[in-house]
Structure 1
């Protein structure tokens, strides 16, 4: 099955493909397709290229720098970028904070922060999870106490992705301890260069420094950095999470990964025949491809339903569950297809400039690392178990 587009949409797709062919750096594409680590410079370079074309914040309103695309155009763009080997846009400023500022920020906050997101002046990270507040996010304990024209912040955030690159963090902080836990949370923007902010690395199983712990010790934050109303942050947090979860579906990245998997399944031999002809493997491959095609259609329906400027509701939880399960299944099948070539893991093989002779298929060096790293997909952004609770409550009324 394939999705059909109008002549105008096909013309847009051609424009996107031409842009990617002309402007997407091959050195970055090579890293993405080989599963190598991207540097801060790589991510910032792609950010700047998209911003120069006016295509970075493709879901923002035109008046704030968006391109004015239809939901189908957004889908086409993200899908073709992934297939072309473009890196994922770092989402924290563009895809998460931006929509919150546009909907809930003051006009002064929008005028100041939105242009800085677009031009890369600020690199944002997300301060949501804490050691005792992961899936139960409303249990955050990081405190912010009002002191004149500042809040004094104390506490800890964890699993802060790319926080070691960031100069700004948007945080959920507790500003009232005497009310129901969802009612005492505020949404605060914090400069990570402020005295009292400490970032400590967390090294993941594949040897990557991707996530961090962030500690706040008497950090003074201007009251002007409060988004919306004090103690209303839970509303803004939920709005942001719907965008994060929809983005986590990763349809385009699954399409690209599936194409890679099919190529490997044709190259690898089992009993003298391509692995793709093995009945058991072929059945799993067909199942995940069917699931992916169904999710494409669902993803289009969701983004079309919010074309008027709203945010996706519980549907984003559906996309998050299926999208992450599909990506995990593809990475699992890729690792299986590699067989013994996926067994050894050399961390240095994922770094730029590694020149030792490859063993096995080109993807072998990153197969195990991608498999283990993708185990997190069903946990972050709200665990899939929590998403099922949201669906049962908001859609099924249970």
Structure 2
């Protein structure tokens, strides 16, 4: 299982460019050098040892209507835990974004993201990257804080070298969720899915929910799954009550069967292709140019959740989730689909949503379900049905009777006259 989770996350990284050789990462408390360096386009190489920046603005700003959303909230006051491979504190976009984190193994101290990996750094950048001069990368919630909770180990295992990444276990992910909830994270991003250990994940999600945290997790990447195994039946922790399961869609909002799993577990969708974000070099990279990764889609929804939680701090995690799903863009307002759930996230609409309990779609946690009104009772009569021709028959009957009466009178008068004439 540990290898499966790691494979999903590594493949989800899906850099547009091929990674070069490893460069040294910085510890979490390292100072950030002055921002400088060339720009990088989607087709250029992203190398760990070279700090470069994505040229041009992020398409996510227009696609998701972020300028409108930022007029209402930028995520200030909200902490998003990233339970992942760690976060590179030396990245220019994350200089002021990080709070104290932890590891779920070893001595528990937070570690920097791995060389040649960078999954957690990319996720953190999508959520809360600060704008940097010369770069188009910006997070969905650019004033939220990131809490790095590392669940990916680097210790040698089964003959591996000390530089080999060991994937997270269900235990390390569940422990990370609990630690984040205990240390004040309102949103907990888990950009992976697992089809085992339901009990561990259920306990962790329930624990976080009871402490006011919303867990947002991947709905599964088909193109990173083991082709020799049948499709998974479960996608933990995303499918659990108290969590949101996020599917990835392409840049234009199209769901792609080669990238994503479908099923009733899917709650919401977000873009997961060609994602400009922070990179372990200290600069930027564009990730997943040819597919839609639910890892990055999960980060987008976590950023949107941070915007919502900042604007509505007194609401519950269930209400934050409701705002996101109720306001998502979809074809049929009252029905979810197995591909994108309640639709593609729309942060500005979530922030402006007015919940009165009558909106079609997911059930509001603030109102009791509206029971459909029963049909009025019907009275059944045992009397024979009236013949619609009865009135006509009655008129005809009166006419016939009157004619007969007149005929008798005429006949009697005629007889009387005849008798008088004979006398």
Short-chain TM bin: under 0.3
TM-score by length of 2: 0.22
Greater relative contact order structure (CA < 8 Å, 6+ sep): 2
| TM-score of the two chains, using structure 1 as the length reference | 0.23
Larger radius of gyration: 2
